[in-house]
Structure 1
Amino acid sequence: MASEEKRIADELSYPILFAEQFRSAADDAKSFKLECIEVGKYVERLKQMLRTLVRLATTTPSLYERPIRRVIAEVSKNLERALTLVRKCKRQSVLRRVVTIVSAADFRKVLGLLESSMGDMRWLLSVFDSENTTGIVLSLPPIASNDPIIAWVWSYIATLQMAQLTERVEAANELASLVKDNDRNKKIVVDEGGVPPLLKLLKEGASPDAQVAAASALHTLADELDRVRSIVNELGVQIVVQALGDSPVRVQSQLASLVARMAEHDPLAQECFARENVIRPLVTILSFETFADDHRDQQLGKQSIHSIVQINKEMEKKSLARPSSRQYSNSNGSSNSNYYYSYYYNSEGSKHRRERENERPEVKLCLKISCAEALWKLARGSVSNSRTITDTKGLLCLAKLVEKEEGELRYNCLMTIMEITAAAESNADLRRAAFRTNSPAAKAVVDQLLKVIRELDSQVLQIPAIKSMGSLARTFPARETRVIGQLVSQLGHRNLDVAAEAAIALSKFASPDNFLRTEHSKTIIEFNGVPTLMRMLRGNELTLLHGLILLCYLALHTSNSEALEQARVLTALEGADHSVVNPELRELVPNAIRHLNLYHAGALSQRHTFVP
């Protein structure tokens, strides 16, 4: 802090030096004497203001330097110009007087510049005035006459950094309002140093209102990579995770939304949040009350009515002991609901636990929506984060919420599952660890995905569920025909996007990369998938592409199928072969035709009767 004060003091000493030199230069003036005296009065006032500012700068804790440096640079330039003008009025040789011409207009111009500098100094002193009871200064200094936003930003940040708590909260809210839907204002706030005081307000935890205001302003700023990176560079990730751990519900909700936005726009932030272990508190919050009812029902089902009081006493005793590390890291087993129930009640020492229990349902729902979104963004494109979610029993929690909830919370949970399954598709270790056929969590996820596909008439929810099924194609044994049957039924969906996604998912079952491709291909045919695929070829470009790919896979692996011959698949593929432009199909379609020709001796008689 001392070195910073020294730097500011050095910055302020430069214009004061010019002001000190001005008196002797004015005394030496021989021409325009009155004008020099008038300029000297302005310079003297500026000097007094500069000295006052030095005292404020060296005694103010957490000094906000940005406006000081900008204003002082302008004041120094104007003082230097005034000093140069007055020195020209000194008696000189005849040649210099001819070459150097000084006019009254020059003095008027300098007086205007000095007056502007005085206005800037008055504004600056009002911002740093400790006796200012109004807090935020919204007047405009001359330096910001062409861009008033910069003055408001300076005032808000100065208040945020140096004022009392109430004014700081107000300044944070004003900043959030100022930058909303305005990228230029967001850039100004970040460039002028608005991020550090917002993080400081969040870290202090002086009040829930202060934390919500700070988190809201940061959330508004964090919608672009460079701005998110500025938060990360100020150790914002650590501060956010620390505040998320033990804060009131409304603060946690805002912080979870901030985690989601930062992870969405910056891969580095996504990695930093993972290193700070943010996934564990997010899963814990998301599981709040999710398994408690199941646990109570399970216990009450085993006990008589007379033992209810005793069960409640046992719960109170269990809340005093934390779960062992072995229990936490245990693989997906039958005790998942017990784990979540005990994990929540083991936080008895949390000062916000009772508040969370008594919070309004809509507030708790908002918190869960934010946490689910954060997990979604953290899992996207990240195998390690997806593994962490599954290791913390997140899969079972997500499946339970998909079953019990609806709306945005269900959607966010489905999107999280979609990202986890996509990561599992690309990583065999994660696939084997999290989606074993005997895993209760994996079974719960598959059951809920099938239920969404089968029962919900919403493409917004069905598409991520279908994509998840496709990503898990290599985890299903040949006997698991219900998944393929449900996907085949979606090939005829009235929404072509849903139908195309179903074809993509089934292609992963029948793909040459799938060890059970032949068995799965036969199952697709058994569920009468070929006629539906033939109808898809008459749809849009998307259904045509993915319908052809799936038909080619079926032809490669089940060339002798009567269903393919009856549906005249060979004729359809030969017709498509002449017009195919997609690189993926250039080799696939001819290969499928060759396979079919080996088995379909009567194919030639079909070619002229098929109408594409």
Structure 2
Amino acid sequence: MDAAAAVDDERSVEDALSYAILLSERVRSAAEHAESFKSDCSELRKQVDRLSPTLRSLVRFASSSSLYDRPVRRILSDICDVLDRALALARRCRRQNFLRRVVTITSAADFRKVQNLLDASVGDMKWLLSIFRADGDGGIELSLPPIASNDPILSWVWSFIASIHYGESSDRVEAANELASLAKDNDRNKQMIVEEGGIPPLLKLLKEGSDPEGQIAAATALISISNDQDRVWAIVKELGVPIIVQVLGESPMRVQILVANLVAKMAEHNPLAQEDFACENAIRPLVTLLAFDMIIGDDRRAQENGKASIHSILEMNRRRGESSKLGNPHNSLRHLNSYSYPTWDGSSRAGSHRREWENETYEVKLKLKTNCARALWMLSAGSISNSRRITETKGLLCLAKLIERERGELQYNCLMAVMEITSAAESSVDLRQAAFKTNSPAAKAVVEQLLRVIKEAEDKLLQIPAIRSIGSLARTFPARETRVIVPLVDRLGHWDPDVATEAAIALGKFACPANFLCTEHSRTIIELDAVPGLMRLLRSSERAQFHGLGLLCYLALHSGHNERLDQARVLTALEGADRSVAAQHPELKELIVKAMYHLKMYHSVGHSQRLSYPP
């Protein structure tokens, strides 16, 4: 039997061990019957006698269903190869005819090589038994086995994973922290942890809620690993998503902070994980954690049993304020203020979670909300279904409130989540009609905060997602809703070209033919004196020129005869662009030709009727 075949992944460890023990007996027998090199063969037999007891000691671990077999298989494979060489060498020392002795040359150097390999095998086996606590020493084994002499990281990874499998509570925490530390060093270490079977024990440690320190250590290690699509998929294949969602809902706040970060990392790097989290209903607990101190809880029954859902409480708030203040989006947000804790599973943990929340510092609460907002951002990125789920859990109202009252990273994450949700709504009529109806309190609250950020924020990292969000919602605004266009026009003259360009892109979505109200919106944009700002934008970067020209063409096509366009010499600008920038963009070139034709016709006949496009 081939040595490699004896220990492949298809065979049991018991079979591999049996084969290694059988080989050792054969080597021992062949060495005893040697006719030449008797002293060398005797030394060979002694080394095999040292190896055999370690192999037999491993038998009692091999039958365990929870055996961590990665180092076992690797070491047994090498041992079988060495024993095969030793057996062949010992057999050559039996009585042979003269021709066989001439053809087969055996030297003392051959014995020295095999003896050295057998010494290394004994060392490997002693190390292997030590990580399974066979010697009763306890603690994490950090000695270097001969097999890993060229790659010490491998032996450390094996030791730490084995310690998580079999160690005491403190040893498991320490080992998980060590794996996290190795994973932070480089991607090779991350990949090694995955390939050597580190994910299942880390998930098991994360799931066991009896020791928060162990959960924190496991989550930290998994976060470090989850920066690659394939490694995230390895976590998903080990059924990690249901475990992560369960821990997110049931654990102390310190653990939830890291688990929310883990959800964000996995969703960011693997679209399949993004959908798996949605199927496991991860969005609901994330929104609930965001809404901790935003929910009115004066319903007596809800306060007594702590089981009211976020949906029912927000709906109750809406009905309460509908007759007086809810018409104002700011007022609707201010109604979300209390300290009751709504659970999503009705568990008896609600009371302890509520007490924990009230006793935690502001910094801890802020970190949890920041990570939950980032998780929602990553879950909604490019996903219409996840964006719909967020709006169905009243997540929009929570995000709007946080954008209003928070600053820094939390506000940014909430804005990015809203940007992804509105982007999904732009491409989905159903989502747009369901979540962004003009009379929706959540939609009103979100739009109000987006406009406030565009007007007041100084940081372009906040302004840009807010501008993009308004642009994505362009088809939801009626013609009379000019207040959403005003701040966009103002931003055309922003000192930062990126902000000005994003404003042009957003306004382009109001004025483009895909918008049913493009004519009305185009006229509004011109009346708000957007053309001078657009003309300045044409002197900026190539990207700014491209989007500025596009908007300028839409305005020319949809606004009819307008003196503002003549005064700004838009036709001259388009003629110059037709010879330069537009040459690199055929689709823009065609649009410019139509716009120039339109302007020339109006200029020549001097009337304001809309003319047809050139054939």
Same fold (TM over 0.5): yes
Residue 323 (structure 1) aligned with residue 328 (structure 2): no
Change (3 A) 1:89 1:352: same
Residue 124 (structure 1) aligned with residue 128 (structure 2): yes
Q: Which sits farther off after the overlay, 489-498 or 477-486?
A: 477-486
Structure 1 residue ranges (4+ consecutive) displaced by more than 6 angstroms after TM superposition: 336-340
Q: Paired residue for 1:176, among 154, 176, 180? A: 180
Distance 2:101 2:520 in 1: 103
Q: Within 5 A, what are the aligned runs for 1:380-419?
A: 380-419=381-420
Q: Paired residue for 2:153, among 125, 149, 155? A: 149
> Structure 2: which amino acid aligns with 1:119?
G
Q: Within 5 A, what are the aligned runs for 1:335-354?
A: 344-345=341-342, 349-350=349-350, 351-354=352-355
Q: Paired residue for 2:275, among 263, 271, 275? A: 271
Distance 1:572 1:11 in 2: 80
Aligned residues: 580
Distance 2:340 2:310 in 1: 12
> Structure 2: which amino acid aligns with 1:49?
T
Structure 2 match to 1:555: 556
Structure 1 match to 2:595: 592
CA offsets per residue over residues 536-574 of structure 1, 9 Å max, x none? 111111211111000000000013011001111011101
Distance 1:332 1:82 in 2: 81
1:332–1:439 Cα contact (<8 Å) kept: no
Q: Within 5 A, what are the aligned runs for 1:209-608?
A: 209-292=213-296, 315=300, 318-320=303-305, 322-323=307-308, 327=312, 333-334=318-319, 344-345=341-342, 349-350=349-350, 351-579=352-580, 580=582, 581-601=584-604
Q: Which sits farther off after the overlay, 184-193 or 119-128?
A: 119-128
- The CA RMSD measured in Å over matched residues stands at 2.2
- How far off its partner does 1:349 sit? 4.3
Residue 49 (structure 1) aligned with residue 54 (structure 2): yes
Distance 2:336 2:48 in 1: 74
Change (3 A) 1:500 1:331: farther
TM-score normalised by structure 1 residue count: 0.91
- How far off its partner does 1:206 sit? 2.1
1:264–1:270 Cα contact (<8 Å) kept: yes
Distance 2:537 2:58 in 1: 76
Distance 1:551 1:322 in 2: 55
Q: Which sits farther off after the overlay, 121-130 or 276-285?
A: 121-130
2:310–2:393 Cα contact (<8 Å) kept: no
> Structure 1: which amino acid aligns with 2:109?
A
Change (3 A) 1:102 1:326: closer
SS of 1:272's partner is helix
Change (3 A) 1:266 1:566: same
> Structure 1: which amino acid aligns with 2:598?
H
- How far off its partner does 1:341 sit? 5.3
Structure 2 match to 1:26: 31
Structure 2 match to 1:13: 18
1:25–1:86 Cα contact (<8 Å) kept: yes
Distance 1:319 1:516 in 2: 51
CA offsets per residue over residues 104-157 of structure 1, 9 Å max, x none? 111111111111111111111111125544421111111111111100000000
2:203–2:240 Cα contact (<8 Å) kept: yes
CA offsets per residue over residues 402-436 of structure 1, 9 Å max, x none? 00000000000000000000000000111111111
> Structure 2: which amino acid aligns with 1:227?
R
CA offsets per residue over residues 61-86 of structure 1, 9 Å max, x none? 62111111111111111111111101
SS of 1:535's partner is helix
2:31–2:41 Cα contact (<8 Å) kept: yes
- How far off its partner does 1:23 sit? 2.8
CA offsets per residue over residues 183-212 of structure 1, 9 Å max, x none? 000000000000000001111212111111
- How far off its partner does 1:28 sit? 1.9
1:88–1:100 Cα contact (<8 Å) kept: yes
Change (3 A) 1:430 1:328: farther
Change (3 A) 1:589 1:287: same
Change (3 A) 1:92 1:130: closer
1:373–1:413 Cα contact (<8 Å) kept: yes
Q: Within 5 A, what are the aligned runs for 1:64-75?
A: 64-75=68-79
1:328–1:392 Cα contact (<8 Å) kept: no
Consecutive unaligned residues of structure 1, counting only runs of 5 or more, are 296-310, 604-612
- How far off its partner does 1:332 sit? 10
Distance 2:317 2:538 in 1: 42
Change (3 A) 1:410 1:247: same
Distance 1:65 1:508 in 2: 59
Q: Paired residue for 1:112, among 109, 116, 136? A: 116
1:395–1:442 Cα contact (<8 Å) kept: yes
- How far off its partner does 1:57 sit? 3.0
SS of 1:11's partner is helix
1:424–1:471 Cα contact (<8 Å) kept: yes
> Structure 2: which amino acid aligns with 1:262?
M
Change (3 A) 1:512 1:6: closer
SS of 1:289's partner is helix
CA offsets per residue over residues 307-349 of structure 1, 9 Å max, x none? xxxx7xx647633263379837969945687788597256674
> Structure 2: which amino acid aligns with 1:597?
K
SS of 1:140's partner is coil
Q: Which sits farther off after the overlay, 322-331 or 210-219?
A: 322-331
Distance 1:236 1:177 in 2: 21
SS of 1:600's partner is helix
Change (3 A) 1:170 1:438: same
SS of 2:12's partner is helix
Change (3 A) 1:222 1:545: same
> Structure 1: which amino acid aligns with 2:505?
I
> Structure 2: which amino acid aligns with 1:583?
P
Change (3 A) 1:325 1:206: closer
Q: Paired residue for 1:95, among 90, 99, 111? A: 99
Consecutive unaligned residues of structure 2, counting only runs of 5 or more, are 1-8, 321-331, 607-615
Change (3 A) 1:507 1:443: same
